[in-house]
Amino acid sequence: MYKIFILTFSLLLIISFDLVGQDKLVTGRVTDHNNEPIPGVNIIVRGLTKGTVTDADGKYAIGLPPGYTILVYSFVGMLTEEIRVTTESTLDVTLYPDIQSLSELVVTGYTYEKLDRLSGSVGTVESKEMEDIPIPSFDQVLQGKTAGLYISSGSGQPGSSATVRLRGSGSINAGNTPLYILDNVPISATEFSTLNVNDFESVSVLKDASATAIYGSRGANGVIVITSKNGKKNTSSVTYRMQYGVSQQAREKFEMMNSAEKIAFEQFMGRGPAGQLDPNNPTDKLVLDQYKNTNTNWKDIFIRNGKLQSHEVAFSGGNEKTTYYTSLAYLDQEGQALKSDLKRYTLRMNLSSNVSEKLRFDLNSSIGYSESNVIPSEGQIVTNNPFATVYLANPYVSPYNESGDYNTGPGLVGPNTLEFIEEGTRTNDQIKSVLSASGQFNIAEPLYVKSTFGIDYTQTNFERYISPESYDGGTGSFGQSQFQNFSYIWTNLLGYSKDFSDHFVEFTLGHEIYLNSQNTYGYVGFGINPKLPETPEGITPGSADGSIPQISGGKNSNSLHSLFAIGNYSFKDKYNIKASIRRDGSSRFGANNRFALFWSLGASWSLKKESFLENSQIIDELKVRASYGTVGNQTGIGNFQSLPTYTSVSYGALQGNGILGAGNPDLKWEVSNQTNIGIDFSFLNTKIYGSLDLYNNITSDLFVEYQFSRTTGFESIESNEGKMSNKGIEFTLNADIVTFGEFIWTLGGNIAYNKNQILDLGQVSEFEFGTSIVKVGLPLGSHYIQEWAGVNPSNGEPLYVGQNGEITNDYDAAGPKAVFGTSQPPITGGFFSAWTFKGLKLDAFFTFAHGYSRYNNQLFFSENPNFVNFNLSKKMNTMWKEPGDITEIQSYEYERQFSSKDIEDASFLRLRNVRLSYSFSEKLLEKTKGLFQGLDIYVQGQNLMTWTEFTGFDPEDGNNIATFEYPASKVYSVGLSVKF
């Protein structure tokens, strides 16, 4: 303890020395290679955030604190200069154009585009916004970072993926997930836990047709383009990152009955394990006394404080011709629930080499391996789900009996959950590798050819073992299954790019082949030899039907063949036009519609460069954008739905084949017609900047079921019948609120509104499923259920709203219903606040969603007298008992039904991340005699606070029905980053 105190005191003393001192004033002028002044050049002290900008004449003045000797000069489109200040107090600097710089470029589908020429709607997330966040799955790191991109965290199981929607949901039966591109390779949207987000340089979120139409039949849901890191020329560095943390349950839910309350409740009802015991019977009284003396806290048994640790080392650098980046990383995360965890190992190797003036090679490769233990029956309302057991298991029952064995006696509802979890395993191991290799040959200065070959390979192994010793385990079982997903892509480009004085012309012609194949197999065997548990060798042969091993498997594939072209023209970077066209041919569709054409046209106008604004001292940038185009969607449908399919059938003792589906040779892509108008702006030397976008996406030819007459032998086929719209507005704003000396306060955020509406369903105008309805005129995800009207105080009967608005006690599941909002939030966004003083920085990041609701099935079970065998909420003590009682819980004599009572507003505001960090100054690092190039330490918290009216586990889970799912975790962590 004494050593920890001395170390902490020493660090604070060093930091305090670093925060004081008298500045040296440096003045000067910044010009270009023609000796023209450059206004708006950013000048900072290296190692600090302190800085200034040049005025209209290129002049500047900046204070240089003691111990700091280097000034950094940067400007869009110019090479960054770092100059060491010695004794001079006046320093004039010349900046030169950076032809190869990507700082002013954004990745947009096969090419880079200059920001001031961009006509599409594109959001960008930089590496510093994603690094060191304690979430294993990359998609969840993007929450709230870009307007219109809504990400719900889904399960809290370590490594689980999220639900991602960009500008709403555009399909009913097909997929709504964006297309993910990693280093020019399309990757699966479900396996992110094997990717290390610290390896990513930037993420571009392509939103409108101008940006996505070049991806043709896969771009309707938007495209997320990931660019991994590479080294920088003439540098070398080694970076080590470390993080330790602990996770806790984010929100305590439901006050449940203790033993005395639950026993009294059951005795009152005369139901349940305790309610059927007679306290006047000596034998029953002994059992009741035992129940009363037991008060099990099931949360302490199943829910724990999880641990988190990660370690990473990265090597980066290069010379004039070759750059490299290599990283090795390890992550170990325990979940909140017993026997839920994730271990991950990743390796990345990137290499770029200019072999000659005309030839360049790039190699980007990564491989990741993860192994996880997952809890069984997650989300289900069964007592072998620990998140259900914590609340629904009776407190008067212990998991162990008096002899220390697992309790299987009365009072348990179903199996002993602890035994079920501990006497079995449920593992999920995954290998994922992504490879991108490309070569570019410059035929002449404006003309080049480029060829890229990419591979995305994923292998998932699932293993399930149930011990014969476990309750209801029978003779035991052991099963394994494997899923392999392999895809490769070969892209060939012919490109031309040339500046002609005030004119810029660029075009790209492309040819692409994509092939995806999937292989699955699995088996489960029964009758386990106790001496060989958790192995296939332990399966003993059997002859009875219940012991014969079961085997399954299959193989299928699909392919895509494409031709495309992109053209860009710009006049003085003031008037910009972009056009793209793509012809896709897919194996998934029938001969009548195998090929389709997708296209887009976009334009932008930079008003700042007009004579009436170019001399404005207030407006730095003002640009108007507009685009229109068509994009397709083929995700979420099978590979053979255009063809007649067959399956094995049995008739009595005979086996044979039968027709499974009729197939539809006219099946084709869903097509989204997208319009976007946007404005980009920047004021007061970029102290205020942002964007505004309005869009209208109309998706036609939706996949819906076309109903047949049963006399045909088929019920339905997949057909293109529906139509849906998503209209909305997105707004992003960032500002330096206060800049006082070396203190900077920055505030920013984004908000998006999306209105979803179903326009057409083909043969029908509506159809129901569960507690939802799909209906023309309503948004997707609309809740549809009978309206709750309260409890009759005279007799405790539940009341409902009838067909004509009357109050009735007649519940009819197929009767009158009403719409109660939607499960898809129309308003989403995120915002941040950052305070910086020298090397000290405090960041707070919030996300929110508003205007949506969820069906709370957790409430339905915990406040339901029909489920008296389970433990119940303390609110059940307010149940109607006698005439005159005013309550919302009906008498136990009446069955509780699904109704609007359990639909709750799920709007929320969540403090997603708070981070306090300190970057050691150059002055201190110089004392290490060149050992350290950088040193950062930080503490942070994830999911610390949530404000919501929703009473379930987690308001932002992706499902419209809230079951007992794995909730999000609250994480506290400390870490450091050292650069050598």
Q: Which pair of tokens denotes residue 705? A: 């079921």
- What is the C-alpha to C-alpha distance for residues 580 and 742, in angstroms, rounded to an integer? 46
* Residue 713 located in a structural domain: no
Ordered strands of the 93-94 beta sheet = 59-64, 24-31, 93-94
Which region among 164-173, 221-230, 352-361, 921-930 has the lowest average model confidence (pLDDT)? 921-930
Per-residue pLDDT, 378: 55
Per-residue pLDDT, 401: 84
pLDDT(366) > 90: yes
Q: Are residues 71 and 110 in the same domain?
A: no
Question: Can you give the CATH number for the domain in which 180 is found?
Answer: 2.170.130.10
* Residue 163 located in a structural domain: yes
- What is the C-alpha to C-alpha distance for residues 817 and 824, in angstroms, rounded to an integer? 20
pLDDT(6) > 50: no
pLDDT(690) > 50: yes
Per-residue pLDDT, 186: 93
pLDDT(187) > 60: yes
The DSSP H or E segment spanning 759 is strand 743-760
Largest interatomic CA distance in the chain: 104
Q: Which pair of tokens denotes residue 749? A: 């955020």
Q: What three-state secondary structure class fits 540?
A: coil
Q: Are residues 131 and 59 in the same domain?
A: no
pLDDT(140) > 90: no
Q: Are residues 109 and 84 in the same domain?
A: no
Q: Are residues 269 and 177 in the same domain?
A: no
Give, rounded to a whole angstrom, the gap between the first and last alpha carbons of the chain. 30
Q: How far is CA 488 from the centre of its chain?
A: 24
Please name the residues in contact with 114: beta carbons below 8 A apart, sequence gap of 6 or more: 104, 105, 573
Q: Are residues 32 and 88 in the same domain?
A: yes
Model pLDDT for residues 260-279, shown as the tens digit of each residue: 999 999 999 888 888 888 98
Residue tagged 């994730």 (tokens): 342
Q: Are residues 169 and 223 in the same domain?
A: yes
C-alpha distances in Å from residue 872, one per residue of 10, 84, 859, 952: 54, 70, 10, 15
In this structure, the chain runs to a length of: 980
Burial classification of residue 148, based on how many CB atoms lie within 10 Å of its CB (0-12 exposed, 13-18 middle, 19 or more buried)? buried
Q: How far is CA 625 from the centre of its chain?
A: 28
**Residue 761: closest CA among 791, 789, 719:** 719
Please name the residues in contact with 750: beta carbons below 8 A apart, sequence gap of 6 or more: 144, 146, 147, 730, 731, 732, 733, 829, 830, 831
Residue tagged 């965890």 (tokens): 341
DSSP-assigned letters across all residues of 467-532: -TTSTT-TT-EEEEEEEEEEEEEEEEEEEEEEEETTEEEEEEEEEEEEEEEEEEEEEEEE-B-TTS
pLDDT(957) > 50: yes
Task: Please provide residue 18's backbone torsions phi and psi, each rounded to the nearest 5 degrees.
Answer: -75, -20
* Residue 859 located in a structural domain: no
Q: Which pair of tokens denotes residue 474? A: 């029978």
Give the residue-averaged pLDDT of 909-914.
95
Burial classification of residue 685, based on how many CB atoms lie within 10 Å of its CB (0-12 exposed, 13-18 middle, 19 or more buried)? middle
Number of Cβ atoms within 10 Å of the Cβ of 2: 6
Per-residue pLDDT, 410: 66
Q: Characterize 335-361 residue by residue with b for buried, 16 or more Cβ atoms within 10 angstroms of its Cβ, and e for exposed.
A: bbbbbbbbbbbbbbbbbbbeeeeeebe
Q: What three-state secondary structure class fits 386?
A: helix
Pairing of strands 179-182, 223-228: parallel
* Residue 329 located in a structural domain: no
Give the residue-averaged pLDDT of 424-443.
92
Higher-confidence residue of 637 and 772: namely 772
Q: Are residues 222 and 135 in the same domain?
A: yes
**Residue 914: closest CA among 890, 888, 945:** 945
Q: Are residues 73 and 142 in the same domain?
A: no
* Residue 552 located in a structural domain: no
Model pLDDT for residues 565-587, shown as the tens digit of each residue: 999 999 998 999 999 999 999 99
Q: What three-state secondary structure class fits 592?
A: helix
Give ∠ CA 29-31-36 in degrees, rounded to 5: 120
**End position of a domain, from candidates 94, 117, 147:** 94
* Residue 811 located in a structural domain: no
Please name the residues in contact with 439: beta carbons below 8 A apart, sequence gap of 6 or more: 359, 360, 361, 362, 450, 451
Please name the residues in contact with 600: beta carbons below 8 A apart, sequence gap of 6 or more: 209, 210, 212, 213, 214, 578, 579, 580, 627, 628, 629, 630, 631
Q: How confident is the model at residue 467 (pLDDT cuts 50, 70, 90)?
A: confident
Give the residue-averaged pLDDT of 777-802.
93
Looking at mean pLDDT, say which of 680-689, 716-725, 728-737 comes out highest: 728-737
* Residue 133 located in a structural domain: yes
Please name the residues in contact with 355: beta carbons below 8 A apart, sequence gap of 6 or more: 321, 361
Q: Are residues 184 and 279 in the same domain?
A: no
- What is the C-alpha to C-alpha distance for residues 205 and 644, in angstroms, rounded to an integer? 38
Higher-confidence residue of 963 and 624: namely 624
Residue tagged 């030899």 (tokens): 529
**Residue 775: closest CA among 783, 784, 785, 765:** 765
Pairing of strands 306-318, 322-334: antiparallel
Higher-confidence residue of 247 and 646: namely 247
pLDDT(934) > 90: no
Give the residue-averaged pLDDT of 201-207.
93
Q: How confident is the model at residue 339 (pLDDT cuts 50, 70, 90)?
A: confident
Task: Please provide residue 966's backbone torsions phi and psi, each rounded to the nearest 5 degrees.
Answer: -70, 115
Q: Are residues 203 and 130 in the same domain?
A: yes
Burial classification of residue 791, based on how many CB atoms lie within 10 Å of its CB (0-12 exposed, 13-18 middle, 19 or more buried)? buried
Per-residue pLDDT, 382: 63
Percent of the chain residues past pLDDT 90, beyond the cut = 47
Which region among 63-67, 580-584, 807-811 has the lowest average model confidence (pLDDT)? 63-67
Please name the residues in contact with 964: beta carbons below 8 A apart, sequence gap of 6 or more: 379, 380, 381, 385, 387, 388, 391, 392, 857, 858, 953
The four Cα atoms 859, 860, 866, 869 give a dihedral, to 10 degrees, of -50
pLDDT(300) > 80: yes
The DSSP H or E segment spanning 211 is helix 209-212
- What is the C-alpha to C-alpha distance for residues 535 and 973, in angstroms, rounded to an integer? 37
Q: Characterize 541-556 residue by residue with b for buried, 16 or more Cβ atoms within 10 angstroms of its Cβ, and e for exposed.
A: eeeeeebebeeeeeee
Q: Are residues 56 and 109 in the same domain?
A: no
Per-residue pLDDT, 77: 64
Higher-confidence residue of 769 and 432: namely 432
Q: Are residues 113 and 75 in the same domain?
A: no
- What is the C-alpha to C-alpha distance for residues 946 and 969, in angstroms, rounded to an integer? 12
Amino acid found at 677: I
Answer for the pair 904, 856: CB distance below 8 angstroms, yes or no: yes
Give the residue-averaged pLDDT of 792-797.
94
DSSP 852: -
Per-residue pLDDT, 490: 97
Question: Can you give the CATH number for the domain in which 89 is found?
Answer: 2.60.40.1120
Q: How confident is the model at residue 681 (pLDDT cuts 50, 70, 90)?
A: very high
Give the residue-averaged pLDDT of 870-876.
92
pLDDT(78) > 80: no
Burial classification of residue 188, based on how many CB atoms lie within 10 Å of its CB (0-12 exposed, 13-18 middle, 19 or more buried)? middle
- What is the C-alpha to C-alpha distance for residues 914 and 843, in angstroms, rounded to an integer? 6
Which region among 191-195, 720-724, 851-855 has the lowest average model confidence (pLDDT)? 191-195
Answer for the pair 374, 427: CB distance below 8 angstroms, yes or no: yes
How many domains does the chain divide into? 3
**Residue 591: closest CA among 658, 663, 661:** 663
Per-residue pLDDT, 473: 56
Q: What does pTM read for this prediction?
A: 0.86
pLDDT(28) > 80: yes
Model pLDDT for residues 525-578, shown as the tens digit of each residue: 777 666 556 666 556 655 445 566 778 888 889 999 999 999 999 999 899 999
Residues spanned by the domain of 273: 259-294
C-alpha distances in Å from residue 514, one per residue of 202, 438, 488, 491, 588: 25, 16, 6, 9, 13
* Residue 394 located in a structural domain: no
Answer for the pair 835, 860: CB distance below 8 angstroms, yes or no: no
pLDDT(725) > 60: yes
DSSP 121: -
Higher-confidence residue of 175 and 470: namely 175
**Residue 202: closest CA among 114, 145, 126:** 126
Q: Characterize 377-386 residue by residue with b for buried, 16 or more Cβ atoms within 10 angstroms of its Cβ, and e for exposed.
A: bbbebbbbbb
**End position of a domain, from candidates 232, 248, 273:** 232
Give the mean pLDDT of the chain: 86
**End position of a domain, from candidates 63, 94, 125:** 94
Helix axes 259-269, 282-292, angle to 10 degrees: 140
pLDDT(615) > 60: yes
Looking at mean pLDDT, say which of 356-360, 601-605, 839-843 comes out highest: 601-605
- What is the C-alpha to C-alpha distance for residues 202 and 226, in angstroms, rounded to an integer? 6
